[in-house]
């Protein structure tokens, strides 16, 4: 259990209940990681908006986004986010545990096309060593068809996930997957 007071789905009311209903509909449940944000309903609302934005993103697909989150969390050693995204990759996309272990060892082995793999590796570089990003990194992505919105959205997704890792670890979010 988290070390901050959160609202369980069955006890939610008002804005929190409305947002939980959207998570329930989209995911079939309200993960404890999402429940953490019930301590701040406005942050919960931002989380819901960002989640919806990325779920409907026109170019950043489900597999790429789940791999970004899992591998950024691997860099940050956030067990909750690693496990949550591993379960998405296994349950929704059919990845095997061996395949996930290989991707963790070498993200370049991720089963993505060249374009998505370049974005994945860029985001990992940007979240691990942001000062090493150069204009050449962005030019490579652009030559593969990514635009600046995609680049900003991809890197933000990874950076935001790093912040989530900090929140979950600091506030002791309980694994529920």
Residue 157 has pLDDT above 90, yes or no: yes
Q: What is the pLDDT of residues 96-147, one digit of tens each?
A: 999 999 999 999 999 999 999 999 999 999 999 999 999 999 999 999 999 9
Q: What is the pLDDT of residue 1?
A: 72
Domain boundaries, the chain: 9-55, 62-170
Give me the mean pLDDT over the 52-71 stretch: 97
What span, in angstroms and rounded, lies between the C-alpha atoms of 44 and 52?
12
What span, in angstroms and rounded, lies between the C-alpha atoms of 3 and 126?
31
Architecture per CATH, 62-170? Up-down Bundle (1.20)
Residue 94 has pLDDT above 90, yes or no: yes
User: What are residue 52's phi and psi, to 5 degrees?
Assistant: -65, -40
Q: What is the pLDDT of residue 177?
A: 78
Q: Is 139 exposed, middle or buried (0-12, 13-18, 19+ CB in 10 A)?
A: exposed
Output the pTM of the full model: 0.95
Q: What is the pLDDT of residue 27?
A: 87
Q: What is the pLDDT of residues 10-56, one digit of tens each?
A: 999 999 999 999 999 988 999 999 999 999 999 999 999 999 999 99
């Amino acid at each position: 259990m988290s070390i901050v007071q959160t609202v369980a789905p069955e006890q939610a009311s008002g804005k929190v209940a409305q947002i939980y209903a959207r998570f329930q509909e989209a995911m079939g449940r309200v993960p404890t990681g999402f429940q953490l944000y019930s301590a701040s309903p406005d942050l919960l609302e931002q989380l819901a908006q960002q989640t919806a934005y990325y779920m409907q993103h026109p170019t950043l697909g489900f597999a790429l986004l789940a791999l970004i989150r899992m591998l950024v969390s691997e860099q940050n050693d956030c067990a909750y986010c690693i496990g949550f995204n591993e379960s998405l990759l296994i349950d929704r996309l059919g990845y095997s545990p061996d395949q996930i272990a290989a991707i963790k060892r070498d993200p370049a082995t991720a089963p993505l096309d060249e374009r998505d793999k370049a974005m994945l590796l860029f985001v990992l570089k940007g979240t691990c060593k942001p000062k090493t990003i150069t204009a050449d990194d962005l030019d490579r992505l652009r030559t593969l068809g990514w635009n600046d919105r995609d680049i900003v959205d991809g890197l933000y997704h990874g950076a935001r996930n790093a912040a989530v890792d900090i929140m979950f670890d600091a506030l002791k979010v309980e694994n529920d997957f």
